Amino acid sequence: MRTLDTQTSSMRYRVFDTALGPVGLVWSEHGILRLQLPERDRTATERRLRAQTVDLVEAEPQEETAVAVALLQGYMAGERTDFSDTRLDMTGIGDFHRAVYASARAIGWGETTTYGALAREAGSPEAARAIGQAMGRNPVPIIIPCHRVLASGNKVGGFSAFGGTVAKERLLAMEGVHLGDGTPMLPGLLPANRRGF
């Protein structure tokens, strides 16, 4: 994950409540820069957000950022949500990652693809491993839906957020995606020995 660094205090952030726990958002005048998925609690979420980003000023989201917050709260409550109009600030992200993220953003609610298929879509058919690395560095999960990108054979693959693959499976279950034996993993009903948000 990149560390954001600017010479101005134009980056704002807010940690807000959702049905799955506290989510952190960082934005600039150019769009959303970073999204922090829920950690153990609000303090851990904010600590992770601030450790990855410098020169932040806490602020109340306004206008399009407030719309993004409302969309994220709806998504985390299990509502079918479309983030295609959410403006992102891709400052400091190279061309390859931009192409990968643009392709990933086209994967709709309840749909999945594989790292290999996304590599072909992004114009780099031999780069499945690099696609996995790009997904692991995704600065705005959910808005760029890296949880919808699976390993070959529709296996869950990796997920770098708190809770790891359990969190990924839970997000997919909210969207009606069934992995493994075809039995849906319902939100809130994960086995007790598995941890996720």
Query: Which whole number is the average pLDDT over 149-166?
Result: 86
* Residue 109 forms part of a structural domain: yes
**In this structure, which amino acid lies at residue 26?**
V
Q: Residue 8's pLDDT is what? A: 42
pLDDT, greater one: 60 or 9: 60
pLDDT surpassing 70 at residue 145: yes
Rounded to whole angstroms, the Cα distance separating 35 from 27 reads 9
Please tell me whether residues 160 and 132 are part of one structural domain.
yes
Give the chain's domain count.
2
Residue 63, in any domain of the structure:
yes
Domain membership of residue 28 (yes or no) is yes
Over residues 149-157, mean pLDDT: 87
| Domain's final residue, options 25, 42, 76 | 76
Q: What span, in angstroms and rounded, lies between the C-alpha atoms of 5 and 108?
A: 31
Taking residues 155-161, what's their average pLDDT? 85
Which entry of 76, 135, 140, 146 is annotated as an active-site residue? Answer: 146
101 and 71 co-located in one domain: no
Residue 152 inside a domain? The answer is yes
Q: Quick one: pLDDT at residue 117? A: 92
Same domain, residue pair 165 and 127: yes
61 & 120 share domain: no
118's CB contacts (< 8 A; 6+ apart) are 100, 103, 104, 128, 131, 149
pLDDT given for residue 178 in this prediction: 78
Active site residue 120: no
Average per-residue pLDDT for the chain: 85
Mean pLDDT of 87-114: 93
**Which domain range does residue 39 map to?**
11-76
Rounded mean pLDDT of 117-136? Answer: 88
Determine, yes or no, domain membership for 162: yes
Could you tell me the two tokens for 3? 């560390």
